[in-house]
Amino acid sequence: MRRREMPILRGLCLPVVLLLLILAVPVSAQGGGARVYLNPTAATIGEGETVAVEIVVENVSNLQGVEVHLVFDPSVLEVVDADAGMAGIQVALGPFASPDYVPKNEVDQGTGHIDFGYAQMNHAPVSGSGVVATITFRAKAAGVSPLTFTQVLLADAIGSQIPVETENGQVTVQVGETPTPTETPTPTATPSPTVTPSPTATPTPTQTPATGAVLSLLPSSSSVALGDLARVTLHVANASNLYGVEVHITYGAGLDWVGYEGQGCIADVLVGPSPEDQGVGYAASLQAPSSPFEGACDLITFTFVGREPGTYSVEIGDALLSDPNGGPLEVATQGATIQVVGATETPTETPTPTPQPGGECTDILGHHVVRWGETLYAIGRAYSVRPDAIALCNGIVNPNLIYAGSVLAIPNVPWVPVPPGPTAVPQFGWGPTPTCRYYHTVQWGENLFRISLRYGVSMWAIAEANRIYNLHYILAGQVLCIP
């Protein structure tokens, strides 16, 4: 495999050591402090049954905010929605800390990702031990599903990170008791054909992993609609004596990289684009006195958006694994493909003439091209225009269903007052520059959630003031206006 020097990741060991000097204290780097674990740690249920798993924080002081990222096997388990009145799938938050402000509470049943974060706004910080969330799982099929924390962040009242250790768990799903037909012992004659152990030559292929680790992108193939998000997870298997990882990802022209999420078994992470070849660079390293990693785990999840219909490759162009002394380790790589499917329904949105009898389209401020993830409410906030007027002007029957790439006429129908919430990036008529109380320079490892806790301002307000649409994508060194 060809190796080359990557601009943002030049020389793994020394830069990682320097990086650790400027990063916040790693989540699991200190002992004797707070601990987050699952209760029960291990559970066994039958197919179709449910089990409630509590996320418990122990021995914490001055807790004000919680952010948790956890993964499970979606082929074995699914999450039972804790709030049927809300769109999507949520988990139950609290009660140890009060979920006054909840910027995110999402479950992706397809990929097995659980992501939530919340903060207390009208309550004093809490100390001690208690349940911060409860997840109810339902068994789908027999198997064992690990429950793995990819990242846990605890914050105090001023937004400083509280060191925390995590303990993973698992749920085992069993099938019914078929062993009662003890007649099966009679076919013990069939063991004579256990000459089939000759297919124990299959273990010999497992010797190939033994020669080195395997880096792969999962799932190996996926399909998304035009404008929707696609996620691929960088996974390492058969790792031995692993201390550092350096990877360069390349992807097809019909995809755009929009961010990343989660941090796996190696938590100190550096991620950034490499503009010269439309790629993404990733580096991570353990910190002394941590022991080298052994086995398999998810390292990080990359998020792409489909911009053009087609099938595109996402490849690991370069990969370097290192031991505690900085020496290279042998590694094999496996890429992935993402199919972007065009939305055929968009032409049916063209009947704009139908709403004109209402007179809403006689005065047009401009036109807005819908981007992935935008809603009529987010677009309306961008221009202070009523969402129902935008729907009427563009012949949209279902205001909750708009398509990326659609061109919307924005009528001159003021929306006053404009309620708070997600705001699209205006594509014309940028309003007056907001007043900034502070300016904040983004540090490595920070996100809008933690920054909002520090200044007591909602993520939406910071995003709107800085024209940030993707709340999960900010860059180290970026200067933010804090309104």
**Residue 320: its H or E element:** strand 310-322
Q: Which CATH number fits domain 31-173: 2.60.40.680, 3.90.1150.10, 3.40.1260.10, 3.40.50.2300?
A: 2.60.40.680
Amino acid 273: pLDDT: 67
Please tell me the CATH code under which domain 346-411 is placed: 3.10.350.10
Tell which CATH architecture fits domain 438-482: Roll (3.10)
Predicted TM-score (pTM) of the model is 0.38
Q: How far is residue 219's CA from residue 240's CA, in Å, rounded to a whole number?
A: 23
Residue 32 clears pLDDT 90, i.e. is over it: no
Written in H, E and C, the secondary structure of 369-426 is: ECCCCCCHHHHHHHHCECHHHHHHHCCCCCCCCCCCCCEEEEECCECCCCCCCCCCCC
User: Any bridge partners for residue 217, and if so which?
Assistant: 234
Domain ranges of the chain: 31-173, 211-341, 346-411, 438-482
Q: How far is residue 447's CA from residue 262's CA, in Å, rounded to a whole number?
A: 12
More confident residue, 450 or 357: 450
**In angstroms, what is the C-alpha Rg of the chain?**
25
CATH 3.20.20.70 at 211-341, yes or no:
no
Beta strands 101-108 and 113-119: pairing type? Answer: antiparallel
Average pLDDT over residues 367-395: 85
Average pLDDT over residues 151-164: 84
Q: CB count, 10 Å around CB of 403?
A: 18
Q: How far is residue 291's CA from residue 287's CA, in Å, rounded to a whole number?
A: 9
124, 32 contact by CB (below 8 A): no
pLDDT in tens, 315-350: 998 888 888 877 889 999 999 999 999 754 434 343
The set of residues, in sequence order, having a beta carbon less than 8 Å from that of 240 and lying 6+ positions away, is 213, 292, 294, 329
Structure tokens at 34: 């707070």
What mean pLDDT, rounded, does the chain reach?
A: 77
303, 257 contact by CB (below 8 A): yes
Q: Do domains 211-341 and 438-482 have the same CATH topology?
A: no
Residue 314 clears pLDDT 90, i.e. is over it: yes
pLDDT in tens, 405-432: 788 889 988 888 888 777 777 777 644 4
Structure tokens at 344: 């055929």
